[in-house]
Every structure is written in C-alpha cells, then in structure tokens.
C-alpha cells in the first residue's frame, strides 16, 4: 500500500492532468461587453471580444445548418455533416488550436485545466461541447441529437471536465 502522502500526490496529479469534473450546469448569462448573442440561428461576438474569439464564432457559424452524423468531421475538418467532436474540432482548428480532428473523450485532456476566459470546452466520455464568449455551441441535449447550433438554454454538466486553449 502507498503511503498517504504519495497517494494524495498521485490523486492530485491525476486531477490536474485530466481536469476536475464539474457539477455546475451551464447557464447563459448575457453581458453586452463579454457575451456572444444570437441573431436568428447565428452568433454575434461581444464588443470586447479579441480577434481569435471572433474567428471561433465565425467558424461555429459556418457549421450552422449542417446535419448531425456520428463520426462527421472525424476524418477531415471539412465534411457535409458533423457530430459533437467534429464540430468542436472544426472550431479549434479554425483558430489554429488543433491540428487533427479529435474524439470527444480526448478533449478531457486538451489544453489547460478549468474554464477559459473566452472559450471553455466541456468534455465528458461520449460528448463534448464549447462555450464561446458565454454562448453554448453544441450538437446535443434536449429531445434529440441535432447538427451543430448555438444555444442559450441551460444544460446539466455532471461528469464533464472543463478545459480551455491556453491564453483563451
């Protein structure tokens, strides 16, 4: 059996490397200077968003209207349908933060731990979504799975870890 001190170090290191799970649900809170908002089905960036955040929102907007397909966006960033990880991969690639499409579970170890200032990845085993400038970009939750879209509705996040691209 490991001594307590070593055991605590191993547990702490595991949490740092994999990310701490959250139980707090995602909830949209509008702030005109810092929060993206929806105009129809598209998102618009807040007035104080840096260029990279504007690019991320524009990339998400490019996928609106694409259908959902499990495995969509996995072989290439450019596809005719997307699932959750294909959508997240597309946006991160568009802002220069991802080189290859990535499955949802791998986002549990992506980038830095915790919520980002402008962009947060919510990753669980089997699903991933983004929050960019406070607005959720997601393919799931609710009555059915759908193609990528922006959403303001709350969603539970139990079992998700929060990660973010460094600097964002």
Domain assignment present for residue 4? The answer is no
pLDDT in tens, 119-135: 999 999 999 999 999 99
Residue 125 belongs to domain spanning: 30-164
Determine the Cα angle at 61 with ends 136 and 118, to 5°. 45
Confidence (pLDDT) at 17: 40
- Where residue 107 sits, what CATH number does that domain have? 3.90.1720.10
Domain assignment present for residue 38? The answer is yes
DSSP letter string, 8-26: HHHHHHHHHHH--EE-SPB
- Total domains present in the chain: 1
Domain assignment present for residue 63? The answer is yes
How does residue 141 score in pLDDT terms, banded at 50, 70 and 90? confident
Domain assignment present for residue 69? The answer is yes
Give the mean pLDDT of 11-18: 38
Domain assignment present for residue 77? The answer is yes
């Amino acid at each position: 059996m490991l001594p307590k001190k070593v055991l605590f170090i191993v547990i702490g290191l595991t949490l740092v490397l994999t990310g701490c799970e959250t139980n707090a649900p995602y909830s949209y809170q509008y702030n005109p200077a810092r929060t993206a908002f929806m105009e129809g089905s598209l998102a618009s960036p807040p007035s104080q968003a840096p260029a990279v955040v504007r690019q991320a929102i524009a990339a998400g907007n490019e996928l609106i209207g694409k259908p959902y397909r499990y495995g969509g966006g996995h072989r290439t960033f450019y596809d005719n349908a997307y699932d959750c990880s294909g959508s997240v991969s597309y946006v991160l690639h568009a802002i220069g933060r991802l080189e290859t499409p990535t499955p949802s579970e791998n986002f549990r170890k992506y980038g830095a731990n915790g919520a980002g200032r402008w962009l947060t990845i919510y990753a669980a085993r089997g699903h991933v979504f983004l929050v960019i400038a406070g607005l959720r970009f997601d393919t799931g939750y609710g009555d059915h799975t759908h193609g990528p879209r922006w959403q303001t509705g709350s969603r539970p996040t139990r079992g998700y870890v929060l990660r973010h691209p460094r600097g964002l």
